[in-house]
Structure formats: structure tokens, C-alpha cells
Amino acid sequence: MTARVGVVTFPGSLDDGDAARAVRIAGAEPVRLWHGDPELHGVDAVVLPGGFSYGDYLRCGAIARFAPVMETIVDAAQGGLPVLGICNGFQILCEAHLLPGALTRNQHLHFRNRDQILRIESAGTAWTNAFQPGQEVLIPVKNGEGCYVADTATLDQLEAEGRVVARYVGGNPNGSQRDIAAITNTAGNVVGIMPHPEHAVEALTGPSLDGLGFFTSVLKHLVGAPA
Amino acid sequence: MPRVVVDVMLKPEILDPQGQAVANALPRLGVGDVASVRIGRRIEIEFTGEPDLDRAREIADKLLANPVIEDFTVRLVEADETADARS
């Protein structure tokens, strides 16, 4: 049976269309979810896409966290549902306390938009098991508030538990602490990533096809996951 | 009608690049004696009934501030003081 992967649209989401396309190219059925509808429509995994939900008012992701769909997603994620937050989705996951730390204004204050090399540090998550640990991938980064911060104890814990999922290589685009580009929760089912794997799934539009691995990973994970 | 004012500031250990950018602009105004600038957010809350500081604290903790990176204070002000602050 084809896996069903939900993609949430918030007011101000930008990359929901690309995320749904990436899901389809990876071989799953994308299911569009609406921020105001708490029902997850039987999806096997969820992607929170990039963009500027609620205009980034207050703080990025702060208001999206209280959307009806998020209450259901937070519960489901705590129960093991794979959730990938990309860019604004990463910010929402931090605001919802599914991931530790916070994303703040890029240290140099510039919006950064470029193709970025990442090193996959943890291939043990639901969203990175198609990669080899240490593998380098090329994926677009585009953010204004992508600087990951957390207190030293949290950073040390993330490192010790292998929960830093990806790091920037060849230049840190936003001042992120310890070059962190992606992290995961303790169970490995929730991943937040600042760069955009959904923009690197086709030769026509992306700098590589490396982003596809995130989406094929979750399919692998779902096949292996206990029902 | 008294209001509750919530002031949200980045924690001291969190870098404030906005504040730094403002501080760096000050010499261009001829201001040379400012050591640092930090930027926060002031939020005014008006309740339908009596202002409720505990409720405001709850709102601030859950939504207005992100306790991972920000601190907040909550206080009551009279309507006049709010007007003064704006003028």
C-alpha cells in the first residue's frame, strides 16, 4: 500500500506545493492538510513546510504552534508519528517543544539563499536512514531566521545522544551554534531541518537530487515500522 | 482602563544582531558614547474585565515570549501612563 504523507498548509506557507511534489516523486501519496482542521486524515507521516506562517508575527512559528492541526500533530508525534519540519516547519517544531532550542535571526542579519553542502551526522532517524553517516549532500538553504541556539547543556546532550542530524559544511550560512542544520528528538521520529530538501528532488529545478533521500527515508522507516 | 504591559527581552546570553546593527549605526548619527543596544518587545494587553496579572503571565509564558531565548516582565499601568509612553 502506498504510504500517505501529509503536508500542512498554514496561512503564509510557501513550500507546501514543493513538499507535496517531493513526497510524490519519492513514491508516496501526498495528502494536503489544512491548519484549521485538527483531523490528520489517516496519514502515516507529516511534513511541516517552509514559508512564513502567520506572517512570522510575534516569532517565527509561535502562532502556528497553536493551530488546530498542530495540537493533533504534537500528540501524534509524541506517539511516534514521523514529522519533518523544514525551515519554518523547524521553527514551529521548536516552538511546539517537540524539539529543543530555538531559531533566531541570522547573525549577519542577511537573508541567505544559496546551495549549501550539509554533512549527514545521524542516519538513524525516520527521515535520514537512506543516507550514510558522514555523507555530504547539496541542498538549497533560504532563511532569515535560521540561527539555531540552545544552552550549552542542551547542545552537549544533542551531540552526546547523536541527535545532531546534519551540519553545515563549507561555511555556516546563519551563525547556527555548532554549525547545526538539523536535529531530532530522542525517539528519532521528529526531525527539524533549516535547509530545503524538497527543493533538491529534480534535475530541472534543484542543484542535486540529494533532497529526495529525506522523503525516501520515511518510506523505508514506515515499511520497517511496527503497525 | 488599566492595562497589563508585558516586556519581552532576549536573554542576556543570546546574541541580538538587531541591537548590534542599531548600535553600529549610532556613530553615523554622531553618537559615540553608547556601549550597547538590545531590542525587545512591549505588548499591551487590555482585559474585558479587571486586569489579571497571573493570566497575563500565563499568556506571556505560553505565547508572547519563548522562554528558551527570552525573559519577560509583567506589570500594570494606568491608561494615562500608556498614553504618555506613546507620546
Mean pLDDT by 10 residues, chain A (227 residues): 94 97 98 97 98 94 96 98 98 97 93 96 97 97 95 97 98 96 98 98 96 97 76
| All three cell numbers of B70 | 527570552
Q: How many CB atoms lie within 10 A of CB B79?
A: 11
Which letter does DSSP use for residue B7 in this model? E
Name which of B11, B14, B43, B66 to mutate to probe chain A: the one with the most chain A Cβ atoms within 10 A of its Cβ: B66
Name the residue in chain B with its Cα closest to that of A145: B17
Interface contact B68-A150, CB threshold 8 A:
yes
Which residue reads 544552552 in cell numbers?
Answer: A151
The mean pLDDT value for B1-25 works out to 92
pLDDT (0 to 100) of residue B72: 98
How is residue A97 annotated by DSSP?
A: T
Give catalytic residues of A, as residue numbers: 87, 196, 198
pLDDT at position A155 is 97
Indicate yes or no: CB of A102 within 8 angstroms of CB of B17.
no
Cα–Cα distance between A43 and A19 in angstroms, integer?
Answer: 15
Instruction: Indicate whether B10 pLDDT > 50.
Output: yes
In sequence order, which ranges of chain A are alpha helices (DSSP H)? Answer: 16-25, 68-78, 88-95, 152-160, 212-224
Question: B-side interface with A, Cβ within 8 Å?
Answer: 14-15, 17-18, 21, 63-64, 66, 68-69
Sheet holding B41-45, edge to edge: B41-45, B3-10, B70-77
For residue A64, give the 3-state DSSP assignment. Answer: helix
Cell of B66: 519563548
- Closest CB from B18, B21, B66 relative to A59: B66
The predicted pLDDT at position A225 comes to 64
Q: Is A107 exposed, middle or buried (0-12, 13-18, 19+ CB in 10 A)?
A: middle
pLDDT of residue B81: 63
Reported in sequence order, the residue ranges of A121-169 that DSSP labels E, i.e. its strands, are 136-143, 147-149, 164-169
CB A119 within 8 A of CB A166: yes
What pLDDT does residue B51 have?
93
Domain count of the fold of chain A: 1
Contacts of residue A215, defined as CB under 8 A and 6 or more positions apart, other chains included, come to: A5, A22, A23, A25, A26, A28, A197, A198, A201
Give me the residues paired with residue A30 across strands.
A5
Longest dimension (CA), chain A: 47
Q: Which residues, 6+ apart, have CB-to-CB distance to A160 below 8 Å?
A: none
pLDDT for B78: 83
Residue A227 has a pLDDT of: 45
- CATH 3.30.450.20 holds for B3-86: no
Gap from B22 CA to chain A (nearest CA, Å): 12
Q: What angle do CA A112, A115, A121 make, to 5 degrees?
A: 100
Give per-residue pLDDT as tens, B37-78.
999 999 999 999 999 999 999 999 999 999 999 999 999 998
Chain A residues in contact with B71 by the CB 8 A cut-off are none
Q: Which CATH number is A113's domain given? A: 3.40.50.880
Please report the pLDDT score of residue A161 as a whole number: 98
Distances (CA, A) of B53 to B8, B46, B59: 15, 11, 10
Q: Domain residues for A79?
A: 4-224
pLDDT for B87 equals 44
A86, A90, A129, B7 from A119: Cα distances, Å: 17, 18, 14, 40
Could you tell me if A71 and A92 are in contact, meaning their C-beta atoms sit under 8 angstroms apart?
no
pTM strictly above 0.90: yes
CA separation for the pair A128, A77 (Å, rounded): 17
φ/ψ of residue B37, rounded to 5: -130, 135
CA A226 centroid distance within chain? 23
3-class DSSP state of A116: strand
Cell of A57: 508575527
What residues of B are in contact with residue A105 (Cβ under 8 Å)? 17-18
